[in-house]
């Protein structure tokens, strides 16, 4: 990977830019942040119905001065909208809020929302049937999941046709769930990593500070470069134009095998993702 326009290719041939912009809890500032990111070369923008940023993302894309077809837009299904009919309605709401004719990548945000815990398999399969239908109709270019463990995907595929193309999970130094990572790699499912800085915890990790100093880079740049070299798509979030640009400045150095192993060997320094089998939302 040599630039923000370089891509990973999904098993269906769709290309996903190697670094994306996250928009979780960005609020109305998202419009300007999206414009800034696109101006800096970003071509992957990540949102979700639960982020309440879809309208802002859509406006930012429309006013950024770059053709729509050059931008890969990801959004995610809200937890309260599982099941075939609810998913179809939720998709239409997201498309309307984004102001787009199609969505590049649509993800099921969590496998077992609390309100569906007793019937999660049926609800999940119903949702995925809607995803498959929208994909076949060309309204979604690629479909995937988020926060899924191997057993969730296995359960899904027992009653479904299309294997998820992407699994977006929390990946940062100290939180690299290898069972899920290895499973997705074996299945050809691209891994995207949200919270690549561990929600800011990475900036306080002495080992990461030492590596950053060694390469003359920021801790954020080290985390992003580490993700790229591991084959993950990092989704850094920032409301600062300066940091949005700085986060993309990761193509002029390579982390050594020794330092990659050091970073990959960290455990718990940035906390861990919620247990997706037992979320309370």
pLDDT band at 255 (very low <50, low <70, confident <90, very high): very high
**Measured CA distances, 253 to 3, 201, 259 (Å):** 12, 23, 13
Q: Which residues of 231-266 are buried (b: 16+ CB within 10 A; e: fewer)?
A: ebbbbbbbeeeeebbbbbebeeeebeeebbebbeeb
Q: CATH number of the domain at 130, please.
A: 3.20.20.100
In a domain, 33, yes or no: yes
CA pair distance 54, 44, nearest whole angstrom = 14
Q: Please, which pLDDT band fits residue 239 given cuts at 50, 70 and 90?
A: confident
Packed helices 219-230 and 206-215: angle between N→C axes, nearest 10 degrees:
90
Spot the catalytic one: 51, 56, 106, 116: 51
Structural domain of 70:
7-264
Report residue 162 CA to chain centroid gap: 19
Mean of all residue pLDDT scores within the chain: 97
Confidence category of residue 27, pLDDT binned at 50, 70, 90: confident
Contact 228, 19 (CB under 8 A): yes
Q: Could you please report the per-residue DSSP string of 166-207?
A: EEEEE-BTBB--HHHHHHHHHHTPEEEEE-TTTTTGGGG-HH
Position 150 pLDDT exceeds 90: yes
Residue 49 confidence class, pLDDT cut points 50, 70, 90: very high
Distance CA 83, CA 71 (A): 29
Establish if 74 belongs to a structural domain: yes
Residue 240, pLDDT score = 84
Domain annotation covers residue 48:
yes
What total number of domains does the chain contain? 1
- Residue 265 CA: distances (Å) to CA of 25, 65, 112: 30, 42, 30
DSSP structural state of residue 74:
E
Q: What is the mean pLDDT of the segment spanning 19-32?
A: 92
Residue 273 lies in a domain: no
Q: What is the mean pLDDT of residues 38-67?
A: 97
Cβ pair 134, 106 in contact under 8 A:
yes
Kindly state whether residue 158 falls inside one of the protein's structural domains. Answer: yes
Residue 281 is assigned to a structural domain of this protein = no
Q: Contact, 224 vs 42, CB < 8 A?
A: no
The reply to whether 272 falls in a domain is no
Q: Residue 19: inside a domain, yes or no?
A: yes
- The tens digit of pLDDT for each residue in 74-98 reads 999 999 999 999 999 999 999 999 9
* Residue 51 designated active-site: yes
pLDDT of residue 241: 84
- Residue-wise pLDDT tens digits, 63-75: 999 999 999 999 9
């Amino acid at each position: 990977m040599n630039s923000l326009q370089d891509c990973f290719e999904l098993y269906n041939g769709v290309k996903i830019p190697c670094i994306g912009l996250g928009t979780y809890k960005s609020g109305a500032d998202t419009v300007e942040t999206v414009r800034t990111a696109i101006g800096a070369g970003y071509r992957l923008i990540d949102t979700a119905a639960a982020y309440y940023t879809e309208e802002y993302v859509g406006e930012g894309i429309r006013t950024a001065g770059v053709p729509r077809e050059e931008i890969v837009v990801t959004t995610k299904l809200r937890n309260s909208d599982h099941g075939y009919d609810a998913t179809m309605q939720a998709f239409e709401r997201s498309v309307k809020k984004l102001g787009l004719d199609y969505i590049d990548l649509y993800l099921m945000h969590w496998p077992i929302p609390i309100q569906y815990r007793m019937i999660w398999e049926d609800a999940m399969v119903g949702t995925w049937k809607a995803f498959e239908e929208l994909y076949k109709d060309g309204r979604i270019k690629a479909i995937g999941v988020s926060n899924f463990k191997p057993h969730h995907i296995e359960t899904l595929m027992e009653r479904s046709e299309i294997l998820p193309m992407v699994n977006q999970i929390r990946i940062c130094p100290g939180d690299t769930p290898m069972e899920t990572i290895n499973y997705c790699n074996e299945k050809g499912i691209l891994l995207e990593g949200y919270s690549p800085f561990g929600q800011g915890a990475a900036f306080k990790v002495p080992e990461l500070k030492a590596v950053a100093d060694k390469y003359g880079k920021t801790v954020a740049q080290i985390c992003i470069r580490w993700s790229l070299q591991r084959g993950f798509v990092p989704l850094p979030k920032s409301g600062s134009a300066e940091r949005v640009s700085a986060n993309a400045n990761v193509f002029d150095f390579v982390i050594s095998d020794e330092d990659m192993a050091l970073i990959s060997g960290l455990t718990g320094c940035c906390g861990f993702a919620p247990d997706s089998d037992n979320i309370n939302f």
